[in-house]
Every structure is written in C-alpha cells, then in structure tokens.
C-alpha cells in the first residue's frame, strides 16, 4: 500500500541517479532485502516510477528498505529525509540511547523490552521489520566512548516510587515495579535463565523457538525488577544479570539476521554492564558489537570496538577473557585485509590462552571459549586473508572433537573447511564438507549459518556443471528457500 505526497519526489529521483540505480534495479533490491526479513514484496519498475514521479509513499517497512538498498550501493547510511521519505513512519529511536544517568538507563532498557513485545503482537516479526536497514555502525560511537571514559556508575541504589535513581531522574511512581523489593534470589533466577538460553542458542541457533523466550524474560521478569527497589549491592548484580540477558537477545537477533534489533540490544547491554560496574562484561558486549560490525562490512570500526574492549580490561580481565578479545580483534583485522595485524593479534590471543589456568576466575559467559574455538576463528581469519593452507591446519583442530553442545559452531566450521578445500583445488573434499555443513544447518535456525552456506555455493558457481556441485546445491535448496 502507498499514500500520496504532493508532487514528485525529486529527492528520491536525484539520489537514485547519484547511485546509478534504475527503477527496476531498485525494485529488485527492495524485494530481495524484504525476502531476507521474511517479507514477500512484489514491487516493480512501475512502483518505483510512482514513488518518484507522483510522490507515492510506500507503507510499512518499504521506506527503510529503500534507504537500505540505496545505502548499499553508495556504501554509506542513507537517512529517510535524504530520499524524501522522512514523513513515512520513522524508525523508533528506542534502544539507541546511552544515557549518562542510571535512572534514564533503566528507562531506555525497559522501553526497548516493551517495544519488542509490541512488535511481536503486530505479527510477522513486528517492529523489527519496520526497522529494516536502519543499522548504522556510527550508532556505536557514543556508547563506546562513554563506556571508555566512565565504565561504572557511582551508585545504583533505588527506591521505587521516588523520583530518581542513583542521583538521576529515573522512572517515576507509576512504574510497574514500584512494589518490588529485589533480592539476590531474583538475580539468581535471571542468571539461570541466561545460562539456559546460552545452551539453547549454541545447540539450536538464535531462531529456535526457545531463544525467543529471552526477550519475553526481559519484559516479564527483568523489567519489573529494574523498576523495583534495591540496594547498591543487589542493584549491581541485577544490572549485570540483565546485561547478560540483553546481550544474549542481541546475539540471537544477530544470528537470525535482525541486525537492527541486535544493535539496540547491544547498546543497552553495554549501558547495563556499566551500571553493574562489570568491566569484563562490558568488554564482552563490545566484542559482540565488533563481530557484528565486522560481519556487516565495517572492519575498521570492528577493530576499534575490539580494542576498546581490550583497553579497559588490562589488568582486570582473566587471561582467557583477554585472549577472546584479542581473537575478535584479529577477526576484524583479517576482514580488513591487514595480514600482519591479524597475525599479531592471533599470536597474542594464543599467548593469553596458554597463560590461562583451570582455577582462574573466568566469567560464566565465557564457558564457550576453548582452544577449539580459537582455532575455528583463526581459520576464519586466514580464510579472509586467502591463505587456504593455514585455514586447513586450524580447521582440522577445530573439528577434531565432538560438538554436540555447539552445533551451530560445528556447521560454520564445516563451511570454512569447504572453502579452504575449494581454494586448495580439492573439489571433492569441498563438496563433502559442504554436504555435512548443509546437514547441520538444516537442524538449526540460524540465518548466519545459512549465509555461510550461500557464500560457499556462490564460490562453487564456476563448477556448477559438476555432478557433485549440482547434488550439493540440490541438498541446500530447502535451506535457502526457507524463511530466515
């Protein structure tokens, strides 16, 4: 559906000309972006002509998809006002703020949790579909810099019903949590929920139905506690547990391709980690931001975010934690094509890991990180640097142990192995690893894993006439046509 403006949309026409996109090309790009988000769109060149010449304004997610499609071609974010669609329903700013005041931080986080529910009730993915294309890596600049300057709030004690929290202007007496007195047992329940969610996510992917319970847990369980009454000690623990759950919600959204939702969850998770005075957890959130930025093609910003995680944790985090942060930095350097920097970061990550000991006070959220995981990410670094021999060496180690607990990681490693075999000229081995990867991908719900498979098939296109490749493509067909 569309509604009419007054006169032609000259701004949209001008930007399309600047980007060199035809009407048919824009329609195709918008339909493709919509399909990635589970939307069935049927725009064509006539639709685009109406947007430009008659000023028709498409409804729902379309304006944001148009901006995203043009932004991909230009290589930069395109705001709605630049293409004359600023009066379309704007993408909510909820979740993008990183307030200095802890009371306002509570409000920002709880508003985000409520928004997610409102979106789900709308059906078909809800509010996050209307945010399509609004991911902007620049939105991480302020949160990262404020966290670096002040990684902890002076006090988070709160009495519900009073104006303010921790010295700021927090939620007022109408808050739903004003009669809740929070204790350590409440925090323990949130931590238990986070631990369960981590296991489900690793085994079944971010799109598994159990994973969708994390946003619900944040809305139903965490939000009333944040709006309740607590001492500074209990409050710190509460903010830490909620930060873990919020980061998990972001990670699951990232894994299912909902980058806009992931970005907002990550920003709020970092703010909550600051309120918790948990510097390693804040570093973990920054590392997650870094991986997302790198995955989205912003490798330089990925380096910055990983180095921000490292900088504040020197002398604070355990050796294994520092190893992981350095590994994330290596991923960004490799994606940027900086081989020496990636190699140096990998060497440092391995050195930190060798210094870690069984009795170290490693955080529970780091339970996934082992030498196998180091090898898996090192293999991806060398894949990006086009060094297949190194990819094979590290992938063999990464695949050497059973991975029933980390099914998604196993699938990703198989795809990386297939790429390495292909680049080494071993088509049979590449197709064999690819077939195993498709089998694993079919057992989980992970848009990221599907994209890895899609990339492998793209690399195999020059060999499309080969029976082995044709068979692999046929096996992957149900996976690629299923909604992300």
Question: What is the DSSP annotation of 132-186?
Answer: TT---GGGGHHHHHHHHH--S-S---B-TTSS-BTTB----TT-TTTT-B--HHH
DSSP 368-419: T-SHHHHHHHHHHHHHHTT-HHHHHHHHHHHTSS--SS-HHHHHHHHHHHHH
Tell me what pLDDT residue 205 has. 65
CA atoms of 263 and 353, how far apart (whole Å)? 29
Closest CA to 192 of 248, 146, 231: 248
3-state secondary structure at position 450:
helix
Contacts of residue 6, Cβ cutoff 8 Å, sequence gap at least 6: 55
Mean pLDDT to the nearest integer, 266-291: 97
Tell me what pLDDT residue 167 has. 40
Tell me what pLDDT residue 261 has. 87
Q: Out of 165-174, 231-240, 248-257, 269-278, which region has the weakest mean confidence (pLDDT)?
A: 165-174
CA atoms of 127 and 134, how far apart (whole Å)? 12
Structure tokens at 307: 């180095």
Q: Out of 205-214, 229-238, 266-275, 279-288, which region has the weakest mean confidence (pLDDT)?
A: 205-214
Only one residue has tokens 């060798």, namely 354
Structure tokens at 236: 């710190």
Closest CA to 88 of 49, 44, 134: 134
CA atoms of 194 and 213, how far apart (whole Å)? 10
Tell me what pLDDT residue 172 has. 39
* Phi, psi (degrees; rounded to nearest 5) at 403: -130, 45
Structure tokens at 247: 């980061």
Mean pLDDT to the nearest integer, 464-474: 90
Tell me what pLDDT residue 397 has. 84
- Adjacent-strand bridge partners of 58: 2
Mean pLDDT to the nearest integer, 80-84: 84
CA atoms of 309 and 254, how far apart (whole Å)? 19
CA atoms of 157 and 140, how far apart (whole Å)? 27
Could you tell me the pLDDT band of residue 415, with boundaries at 50, 70 and 90?
confident
pLDDT, tens digit (0-9, with 9 covering 90-100), for 420-429: 888 888 899 8
Contact 211, 259 (CB under 8 A): no
CA atoms of 472 and 477, how far apart (whole Å)? 9
Structure tokens at 463: 């060999």
Secondary-structure breakdown of the chain: helix, strand, coil percentages, each rounded to the nearest 5: 65, 0, 30
């Amino acid at each position: 559906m569309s509604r009419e403006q007054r006169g032609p949309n000259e701004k949209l026409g001008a930007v399309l000309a600047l980007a060199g996109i035809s009407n048919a090309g824009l329609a195709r790009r918008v339909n493709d972006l919509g399909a990635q988000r589970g939307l069935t769109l049927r725009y064509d060149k006539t639709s685009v002509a109406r947007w430009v010449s008659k000023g028709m304004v498409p409804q729902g997610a379309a304006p944001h998809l148009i901006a995203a499609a043009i932004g991909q071609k230009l290589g930069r974010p395109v705001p709605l006002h630049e293409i004359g669609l600023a009066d379309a329903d704007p993408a909510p700013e909820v979740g993008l703020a990183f307030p200095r005041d802890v009371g306002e931080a509570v409000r920002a986080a709880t508003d985000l949790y409520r928004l997610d529910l409102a979106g789900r009730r709308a059906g078909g993915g809800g509010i996050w579909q209307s945010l399509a294309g609004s991911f902007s890596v620049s939105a991480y600049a302020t949160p990262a810099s404020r966290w670096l300057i002040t990684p902890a709030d002076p006090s988070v004690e709160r009495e519900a019903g009073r104006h303010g929290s921790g010295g700021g202007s927090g939620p007022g007496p109408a808050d739903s949590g004003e009669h809740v007195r929070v204790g350590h047992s409440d925090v323990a329940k949130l931590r238990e929920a986070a631990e369960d969610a981590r296991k489900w996510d690793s085994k079944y992917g971010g799109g598994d139905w159990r994973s969708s319970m994390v946003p619900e847990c944040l809305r139903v369980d965490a939000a009333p506690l944040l709006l309740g009454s607590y001492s500074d000690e209990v409050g710190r623990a509460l903010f830490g547990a909620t930060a873990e759950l919020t980061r998990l919600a972001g990670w699951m959204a990232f894994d299912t391709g909902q980058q806009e939702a992931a970005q907002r969850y990550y920003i709020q998770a970092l703010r909550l980690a600051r309120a918790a005075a948990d510097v390693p957890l804040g570093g973990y959130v920054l590392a997650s931001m870094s991986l997302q930025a790198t995955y989205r093609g912003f490798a330089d910003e990925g380096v910055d975010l990983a180095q921000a995680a490292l900088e504040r944790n020197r002398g604070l985090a355990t050796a294994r934690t520092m190893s992981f942060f350095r590994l994330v930095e290596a991923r960004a350097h490799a994606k940027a094509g900086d081989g020496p920097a990636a190699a140096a970061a990998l060497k440092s990550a391995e050195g930190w890991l060798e210094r870690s000991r069984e009795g170290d006070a490693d955080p529970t959220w780091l339970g996934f990180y082992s030498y196998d995981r180091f090898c898996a990410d090192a293999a991806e670094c060398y894949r990006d640097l086009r060094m297949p021999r190194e990819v094979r060496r590290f992938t063999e180690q990464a695949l050497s142990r059973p991975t029933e607990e980390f099914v998604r990681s196993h699938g990703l490693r198989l795809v990386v192995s297939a790429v390495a075999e292909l680049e080494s000229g071993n088509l049979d081995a590449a197709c064999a690893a690819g077939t195993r990867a498709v089998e694993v991908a079919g057992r989980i719900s992970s848009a990221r894993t599907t994209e890895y498979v899609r990339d492998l098939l793209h690399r195999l296109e020059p060999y499309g006439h080969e029976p082995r490749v044709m068979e692999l493509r046929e096996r992957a067909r149900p996976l690629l046509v299923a909604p992300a």
